[in-house]
Amino acid sequence: MAPSELPAADGPAPIAPPVSHARFAIGDVVRHRMFDFRGVIFDVDPVFANSEEWYDAIPEHIRPRKDQPFYHLLAENMESSYVAYVSQQNLIPDDTDEPVDHPAISGLFTEYADGRYALKREHRH
């Protein structure tokens, strides 16, 4: 059967989910909008890709939408350094022009300049 001979689908065409575009890139230094921590982005998920248990642990009144980019950060606050997973709606650019103090940075990135880190050649794809 030729494509022009195929029967028409019943009902309206399915609606595609909204397309979210990443506002930040790997190497960017960002700050959390509500909590006092900052970090460097080392990976980006186009939509939520963590466990439901992790998601449900976020208080409902501040729980982010899942249909947006989520960023993996090498993060720091006044007490420690750690890895964070943060929705795009909760990140803003960091304007301190200070490098992030995280022990894993030297394994992924080279120099820090103009508010961002350069990814090491072996980690690019």
pLDDT, one tens digit per residue, over 3-39 is: 444 444 555 555 555 556 899 999 999 999 999 999 9
**Predicted confidence (pLDDT) per residue in 91-112, tens digit:** 999 999 999 999 999 999 999 9
Q: What is residue 7's predicted lDDT score, i.e. its pLDDT?
A: 47
Q: How far apart are CA 101 and CA 82, in angstroms?
A: 10
- Best CA proximity match to 38, nearest among 1, 3, 86, 4: 86
Which helix (H) or strand (E) segment holds residue 53: the answer is helix 52-56
Q: Are strands 91-93 and 29-32 parallel, antiparallel or unpaired?
A: antiparallel
Which helix (H) or strand (E) segment holds residue 54: the answer is helix 52-56
How confident is the model over 63-74, as a mean pLDDT? 97
Specify the pTM. Answer: 0.82
Q: What is Dmax (Cα atoms) for the chain? A: 67
Q: Are strands 38-45 and 70-76 parallel, antiparallel or unpaired?
A: antiparallel
Domain ranges of the chain: 21-123
Q: What is residue 83's predicted lDDT score, i.e. its pLDDT?
A: 98
Decide which of 123 and 51 is more confident.
Answer: 51
What superfamily does domain 21-123 belong to in CATH? Hemimethylated DNA-binding domain (2.30.30.390)
